[in-house]
């Protein structure tokens, strides 16, 4: 299956850029991000048939602290992504994700985006 997502997209962080924090995943986290793309993100994008944007993927400990993430967040392991269709279709995205493998699936920021973790 073609990949709709890139490692760069999953490690990009506006907070890291703004604060000059390193957000480079190690090899283990990169493997988790690749697995997340293969098992969850690409199948979800394929099934949904519309663009899915990544608000936040991998977070280094410093970045996770800066954004107020919980200390044991799956984002730290490269196992989570915050997703937004930016077209008001997050309900459909949530439904598609609910039928794919995941350990966490929840609405964040009062339903502004969907958090999924594998």
Where does this chain bind Zn ion (CB under 5 A)? 82, 115
Number of H helices, E strands in the chain: 6, 4
For residues 2 and 60, which CB has a smaller minimum distance to Zn ion in the complex? 60
**Whether the Cβ atoms of residue 103 and residue 73 lie closer than 8 Å to each other:** no
Q: How far is the CB of 56 from Zn ion (least distance, A)?
A: 6
The C-alpha atoms of residue 94 and residue 41 are separated, in whole angstroms, by 12
Pick between residue 45 and residue 115 the one whose CB is nearest to Zn ion: 115
Residue whose beta carbon is closest to Zn ion: 115
Q: Least distance from C-beta 42 to Zn ion, angstroms?
A: 18
Of the two residues 2 and 64, which places its CB atom closer to Zn ion in the complex? 64
| End-to-end Cα spacing for the chain | 19
In the complex, what is the shortest distance from the CB of residue 75 to Zn ion, in angstroms, rounded to a whole number? 6
| 8 Å CB contact between 66 and 59 | no
Structure token pair of residue 86:
């930016």
Q: Residue 69 CB, nearest distance to Zn ion (Å)?
A: 7
Please say which residue, 49 or 71, places its beta carbon nearer to Zn ion. 71
């Amino acid at each position: 299956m073609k990949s709709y997502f890139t490692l760069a997209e999953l490690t990009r962080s506006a907070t890291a850029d703004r604060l000059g924090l390193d957000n480079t995943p190690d090899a283990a986290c990169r493997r988790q991000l690749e697995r997340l793309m293969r098992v969850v993100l690409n199948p979800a994008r394929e099934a949904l048939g519309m663009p899915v944007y990544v608000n936040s993927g991998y977070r280094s400990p410093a970045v996770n602290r800066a954004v107020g993430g919980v200390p044991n967040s799956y984002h730290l392991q490269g196992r989570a992504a915050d997703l937004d269709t930016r077209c008001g279709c997050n309900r459909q995205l949530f439904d598609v994700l609910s039928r794919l493998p995941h350990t966490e699936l929840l609405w964040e920021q009062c339903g502004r985006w969907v958090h999924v973790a594998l």
